[in-house]
Structure 1
Amino acid sequence: MEVLISELKQNVVKLNGKYNLDDEFLDNLYSVYPFNRFEYIISHLIAEKILSLEQYLEIRNAYLRRNKFLYVFEITAPRTFGEAWAQRHLNELIPELDRPSKDFDKNYTGQYDFWYNGISIEVKASRAVMRKGGGTLLEKALSSNSRHGFDMNFQQIKPSCAKVFVWIGVWRDTIRYWVLSSDEVKNNKYFSKGQYRGNVGEGQLWIKDTNIKEFEKYLVPPREILETIERKAK
């Protein structure tokens, strides 16, 4: 979003004040989907021949490339994101993962998400959003190269309930995967036990702009996730 705003502002200057397109006016512009401040600016730029159709399409395509996972931030219900989207996404990447049942594990009671060759796997997901300021998830969504501080909160983690954990981090332009053994989760200095009173052994972990480099050793490209799961389970 920052890149798009910067590009449009550079072009608005070329109008030499012919139209009122300052931030205060645009912040108060009455809009109804699909019409918004960006459509309003772009229509003026095209009408005044500041932007050609070809240039507009270049801006549009570049924006789509930079924001190919922005739709994930439109999911507002935590359970829909954390369970429905995240689990489906990982299963699409790795169709070898099975949905657990007592047929695989007689002790299974819903405590983990996937099963693979005797390995219980728990999936957690979070999105990179701007730490400061208000607004919706969509408005606070960050790109992987953003300089803004961000928080990613992985909640309700129970290291004793699975052998391997796959954490999915979503930015506007990329998705990253961290694979950790249960011991690596339990012993991580950022793992905070006791997220909710009475939930013994359950905690949460924050990945932030200030500590994300410490998790690079757990980063795995999509094609190596299954191999890493097998290795971490040993």
Structure 2
Amino acid sequence: MEKLKAQLEELLTRLENATELRAKVKELVSIYPFSEYEYIISHLLASKKLSLDEYYQLRNDYLDRNLYLYLFEISAPRGFGELWAHGHLKELVPSLQRPSKQTDPNYSGEYDFFLSPNIRIEVKASRAVEFRSSAPLYLKALASDSQKQFDMNFQQIKPACCEVFVWLAVWRDVIKHWVIPSYEVENNRNYSKGQHRGNIGEGQLHLNKDNIHEFDKYLVQAKDIEAAIRAAFKREKRLRKHG
């Protein structure tokens, strides 16, 4: 929204009554789908200060910057963290299997996916939103180039229950994927053990503007996730053996 507001503010200078229109916008009551943005754009079009081609460009630029804004409208944590995240990863890596007693007789919900022949995978997902803002998720959603602080908390991390972690993070304009050996999560300086009292072997890790680049070496392109999982599994085995 920051970029769109700046663009519209610049376009308003084309109007002779820009000051009057700004005052009306401040008093405007917005009810979906009518908003201050629609109000300003309609005035610019009506006064022929914004051409149709310019409007299309403005619209397309906004869509490109907000491809994944709809994911911030999922309010239920399970709806995002499990239903969407698991479905998204399964689409990218069709060979992933949902575990069951048939694939693992000892399975009781400890991990999320199984990749043949014997790789256990736990999936965690989060969204980049403005830190300490009380606004609805879709209003405080951040773009990947935003300089505002955010705090993505990957919770209920259980390194002993999987060999590989796949973390997903959503910004307004991009989805990022990290593939990390369990050992390297467990021994990362940002990992905090004991998220809940009595939950032995469980912890959490916060990703924010200050530490996120420490994890750049784990970033992978969507098309390379399966290969990255297999490589991380091999590294996990070496680290557990010699670490």
TM-score class, shorter: over 0.9
SS of the residue aligned with 2:151?
Answer: strand
Matching residue of 2:143: 143
Supply the RMSD in Å over aligned alpha carbons: 1.4
TM-fit CA distance, 1:229: 0.8
SS of the residue aligned with 1:85?
Answer: helix
Partner Cα distance (2:36, 2:199) in 1: 46
Partner Cα distance (2:145, 2:61) in 1: 15
TM-fit CA distance, 1:224: 1.3
Partner Cα distance (1:49, 1:129) in 2: 36
TM-fit CA distance, 1:151: 1.4
* Aligned residue pair count: 233
1:17 and 1:133, CA in 2 relative to 1: closer, same or farther beyond 3 A?
farther
1:213 and 1:54, CA in 2 relative to 1: closer, same or farther beyond 3 A?
same
Matching residue of 1:53: 52
Q: Which aligned pairs between 1:32-181 and structure 2 lie closer than 5 A?
A: 32-117=31-116, 118-181=118-181
SS of the residue aligned with 1:131?
Answer: coil
SS of the residue aligned with 1:230?
Answer: helix
TM-fit CA distance, 1:149: 1.4
Q: Percent identity?
A: 54
**Which consecutive residues of structure 2, in runs of 5 or more, have no partner in the other structure?**
235-243
TM-fit CA distance, 1:28: 4.5
Residue type at the aligned position of 1:100: P
**Which consecutive residues of structure 1, in runs of 5 or more, have no partner in the other structure?**
none
Matching residue of 1:207: 207
Residue type at the aligned position of 2:70: Y
Q: Deviations over 1:14-58 (max 9, x none)?
A: 213356343x75354212211111111111111111111111111
Q: Deviations over 1:90-138 (max 9, x none)?
A: 0011111011111111111011111111111110000111114331111
TM-fit CA distance, 1:228: 1.2
Partner Cα distance (2:137, 2:121) in 1: 28
1:178 and 1:18, CA in 2 relative to 1: closer, same or farther beyond 3 A?
closer
Q: TM-score, normalised by structure 2?
A: 0.92
Partner Cα distance (2:155, 2:214) in 1: 19
